[in-house]
Amino acid sequence: MPSKSAQHRHEYVLIVMDSKGQKEIVLTNDSYSLGRGNDCDIRLQSQFVSRHHATLFKRTDKEGESYYRIVDGDSHGKVSVNGLLINDQKFLFHDLQDGDKVVFGPQVSAIFEHRQYDVFPTLPPDDPFDITLIDPAMIGNDEEEEES
């Protein structure tokens, strides 16, 4: 039977921390609006955050690899009141890297993660060749153990 190799996978995750706690959002769309507005894709629960505080855009580099860029304000160019603080520096836009911390306002932040992992193929449960061999030496004798 030919062996199947592991498949490399990756995903982009935004871990948001605000007044409602912490939540993980797996990023798959081409764009996201972030803010306290009801129409935002990712709602940030704080009075210190603009209605449309930031926008995430999925982009592709020269090698064909995707990444996310965060832009201060809405998709029409209107910037937020507090701006974006990324890794303790103020930016109008930034190409996110694994581990970047984005601060939107007091007690409202997000961590960007680029998770990479391998998925290994599994055998179907009814595989006739999937057996477990037990060495008799591995089976302990309870009576012998009690006498010791």
pLDDT digits (tens, 9 = 90+) for 61-86: 999 999 999 999 988 889 998 899 99
Residues in the chain, overall count: 148
CATH top-level class of 8-119? mainly beta
Residue 97 has pLDDT above 70, yes or no: yes
How far is Cα 7 from Cα 9, in angstroms, rounded to an integer? 6
Beta strands across the sheet bearing 31-35: 42-43, 31-35, 54-60, 66-72, 93-95
Least confident stretch, 21-30, 104-113, 116-125: 116-125
Model confidence at 1, in pLDDT bands (50, 70, 90)? very low
Residue 34, C-beta contacts closer than 8 angstroms, at least 6 positions apart: 40, 41, 42, 44, 52, 53, 54, 55, 56, 104
pTM comes to 0.75
Domain range list for the chain: 8-119
Supply the mean pLDDT for the chain.
Answer: 87
Yes or no: say if 78 and 94 are a contact pair by the CB < 8 Å rule: no
Higher pLDDT, 124 or 74: 74
